Amino acid sequence: MIRLLIKIVPAWMGAVLFVLFLALPVNAESGADDKWQFQIAPYAWLSGQKGDLATQPGLPAAEVDIDFYDDILGNINSSFSLVGEAFKGRYGVVADINYSDIEDDEATPGPFFSKLTSRTKTWIVSAAGFYRLIDQDGAFLDGMAGLRYWSVDASLKLDAGLLSARESTNRENWVDPIVGIKGLMPLGESRFFVSGSLIFGGLGIGSDFMWDAMINLGYQWTAMFSTTLGYRYLDVDYDEDDFLYDVSQDGLILGLSWRF
């Protein structure tokens, strides 16, 4: 049942976000004042990883398949994530920093090597400016555009079988232009809310294509403090020279947020 849900969620996430944002009042007047407001939100992204990874000529692309719901706690070495935001009136800037170190090993199907170990250390740093399109009664919708920097340190290790052991490591850096939307909508008169974002990028300038979607259910404990539980799906296809990084990451997000 869980596996079925994981396959369905990415395909329908964009549609859910679109419907939620359409529910915002289209004739909204800005409720933002002229004072600078700030938000800091550390979060934990328990992401699995699936796709194809190749680092050097002579080594075939390795298939990585780590499910966040049953593998990730044993395969994630470290992770760090933080979002910061500042806005005044309808204009603002947002930055998102994410680091993950994910490792996986499995037996190879043939006799030439006994085990394949893949390890990926990834920095994803995004910075964007945004304009508040809608802001009324606690609900808002922002349009945004900016850049996303990637640094991927990927290593593949083949343990000896009939052939001797082989190991390859490579680091690639690139920058993607990004555009997207983000928003929040309170659920009735309660303290619960739904928030989310949908971002596209790459378009052959950095990666061939990249998209990143997130949806959260949150609770506003005080005017300054809230917590969220959600799901994020990120897919990127980067192929340059002998380096292939055609990978998706998905998993649960646990977040805290302070607004001041």
- Dig out the tokens for 247 from the structure: 């990978």
Task: Please report, for residues 183, 200, 201, the alpha-carbon distance to residue 176 in angstroms, rounded to integers and kept in the order given.
Answer: 22, 9, 6
- DSSP assignment string, 168-198: EEEEEEEEEEEEEEEEEEE-TTSSEEEEEEE
Helix (H, G, I), strand (E, B) or coil at 223: coil
- The mean predicted confidence, pLDDT, of the chain is 79
pLDDT tens-digit map of 174-196 = 999 999 999 999 999 899 999 99
Q: How confident is the model at residue 11 (pLDDT cuts 50, 70, 90)?
A: very low
For residue 185, count other CB atoms closer than 10 A to its CB: 18
Which pLDDT score is estimated for 56?
61
pLDDT tens-digit map of 66-113 = 766 655 555 666 778 999 999 998 999 999 999 988 776 664 556 655
Which pLDDT score is estimated for 141?
95
Decide: pTM greater than 0.85. Answer: no
pLDDT tens-digit map of 29-71 = 444 467 899 999 999 888 777 888 776 655 666 677 776 665 5
Share of the chain above pLDDT 90, in %: 45
CATH architecture label of 2-259: Beta Barrel (2.40)
Using CA atoms, how far apart are residues 226 and 30, in angstroms rounded to an integer?
22
Cβ pair 140, 184 in contact under 8 A: yes
Q: Give the burial string for 188-203 (b: 16+ CB within 10 Å, else e).
A: eeeeebbbbbbbbbbe
First to last CA, the chain: 41
